[in-house]
Amino acid sequence: MIMDKDENKRKFVTLYEKYRYLMMKVAYDVLGDNYLAEDAVHEAFIKIEKNMTKIGDVDAQKTKRYLITITKNATIDIYRKRKIQMKREIFVDELGEENLPLSYMKTNSDSRILDILKNLPVKYRDVFLLKYSSKLDNNEIAEMLNISEGAVRQRLSRGKVMLQKAINDLEVHADGTCGSNR
């Protein structure tokens, strides 16, 4: 870790001590594995170290949101890599031929849905992940993001509409692709 100012070093240590458990919870809620969650938090702190200039007050809600967002993105990256790795570990000889297309289709669908979620605008994605991955209630999300509970409900509603549209587009595209291959 190369940091040029003692102030940045102190800030980094303070961030680590203050937020590592929250970041672990966010990562664990998605991955369900302590070791993978630790890897996600480690990756997040590497990104944080590279972007220390973007972090102001350690205690600010904006800082907390920024750290959670970096953690979620690192977690999603690990989740996606793990899904790809698991897909490669499937031995074709062990599967019946009737199961093969379904297994690959499910993995591809999961990856596409994660891509859709990752490409949502940040304000919708953050609320969505806090609600459904971290299992926080609307009041906790509102407090964490420093917005009203009504704004949380509105972002969830609009995010669902965006997700549904993207999933419908994905299904239409998949149906069109499957039909042209026959």
Domain boundaries, given as residue ranges, for the chain: 1-89, 96-182
Per-residue pLDDT at 9: 85
Per-residue pLDDT at 3: 52
Identify the residue with better confidence: 31 or 182: 31
pLDDT digits (tens, 9 = 90+) for 158-173: 988 888 888 888 777 6
Question: Rounded to an integer, what distance in angstroms lies between the CA atom of residue 174 and that of residue 127?
Answer: 28
Per-residue pLDDT at 125: 84
Per-residue pLDDT at 103: 38
How does the average pLDDT of the chain come out, rounded?
A: 77
Q: Classify domain 1-89 by CATH number.
A: 1.10.1740
The predicted model scores a pTM of 0.47
Q: Judging by beta carbons within 10 Å of its beta carbon (0-12, 13-18, 19+), is residue 132 exposed, middle or buried?
A: middle
Q: Classify domain 96-182 by CATH number.
A: 1.10.10.10
